[in-house]
Amino acid sequence: MSAPVLSLRAVAKSYGAARALDGVDVELHRHEVLAVIGDSGAGKSTLVGVMSGNQRPDAGEIAVDDRPVTLASPAVARSHGIASVFQDLALAPNLDVVENLFLGAELTRGRLLDEVSMEKQAWELLGQLAVRVPSVRVPVGALSAAQRQGVAIARSLLGDPKVIVLDEPTASLGIRQTAEFLTLVERLRSRGLGVVVTSHSLVDVHAVADRIMVLRLGRVNGEFDASVATQEELLAAVTGVESPGNGAVRGGGAR
């Protein structure tokens, strides 16, 4: 197997006396979806913060394509090819799709905005992801939750990232919209990206993940091949009732 596009080694993060991450290892490869699951307080949000450059770890190493990096800020993370889409999406509802996609990175021709090129790129990018909107000039606030999420993910692709981190992406979606999102994740994988998805939903991640990593109390409590792991094994690892079973590929049991 090729070198991981993103790797974390022995990453630790504390908030005062509270240990949010404790020696966490992560490997992510291109064309792969890694789901990170766990109960509230397991460390998922902190892990996303570390990957996205929003949180500086207290210890550990991070590498992109086997090269050590320091993710000092979200801008630095993006410069290394790591894009993140958070649960709030950070979209401006009063602005249209094009304006949201290119906000702060507008294309210009001379001193004027290049509206034609931005509209063309917006349609091309949304088409590649199969995100359907009535118009790229409709205000984002008028779109469905799934459409808005598609716009946020499309915006993250403008910098041609290697990795996309999706934080609790199905939390506000209904059944049909969740199915649309899972199809979107498959398209991201087919483009060669490494995708990290955090979620509380065992069913959702099982449907799209290649591997599933369980966090419990800031530590990795099992890593599973999604094609063979059972819901019972995953639930046991999340709750700490017992060690992971036959579906586990790494780790097991609270330490």
147: containing domain? 6-250
Whether 125 is covered by a domain: the verdict is yes
**Residue 245: what pLDDT?**
55
pLDDT in tens, 150-161: 999 999 998 889
- Nearest-angstrom CA–CA distance, 149 and 131: 9
Q: Does residue 144 lie within any of the structural domains?
A: yes
| Position 139 in a domain | yes
Query: 169-217 pLDDT, tens per residue?
Result: 887 777 788 888 888 899 999 999 999 999 888 888 888 899 999 999 9
In this predicted model, what pLDDT tens digit does every residue of 61-83 receive, in sequence order? Answer: 999 999 999 999 999 999 999 99
Residue 1 lies in a domain: no
Contacts of 77 (CB under 8 A, 6+ apart): 51, 52, 53, 71, 83, 84
Cα(76)–Cα(213) distance, integer angstroms = 26
DSSP class per residue in the chain: -PPPSEEEEEEEEEETTEEEEEEEEEEE-TTEEEEEE--TTSSHHHHHHHHHTSS--SEEEEEETTEEE---SHHHHHHTTEEEE-TTTT--TTSBHHHHHTTTS--EETTEE-HHHHHHHHHHHHHHTT---S-TTSBGGGS-HHHHHHHHHHHHGGG--SEEEEESTTTT--HHHHHHHHHHHHHHHHTT-EEEEEES-HHHHHHH-SEEEEEETTEEEEEEETTT--HHHHHHHHHTSS---TTEEE--S--
Output the domain CATH number for residue 141: 3.40.50.300
More confident residue, 249 or 216: 216
Measured in whole angstroms, the distance separating CA 110 from the mean position of its chain's CA atoms is 36
- Domain-embedded: residue 255: no
pLDDT tens readout for residues 219-234: 999 999 999 999 999 9
- Percent of the chain at pLDDT > 90 equals 68
Average model confidence (pLDDT) for the chain? 90
Higher pLDDT, 19 or 177: 19
Residue 130 forms part of a structural domain: yes
Residue 134 has pLDDT above 70, yes or no: yes
pTM, entire model: 0.88
Q: pLDDT value at position 35?
A: 96
In this prediction, residue 92 has a pLDDT band, given cuts at 50, 70 and 90, of very high
Residue 107 lies in a domain: yes
Tell me whether residue 120 is in a domain: yes
The per-residue pLDDT for 254 is 36
Tally of domains within the chain: 1
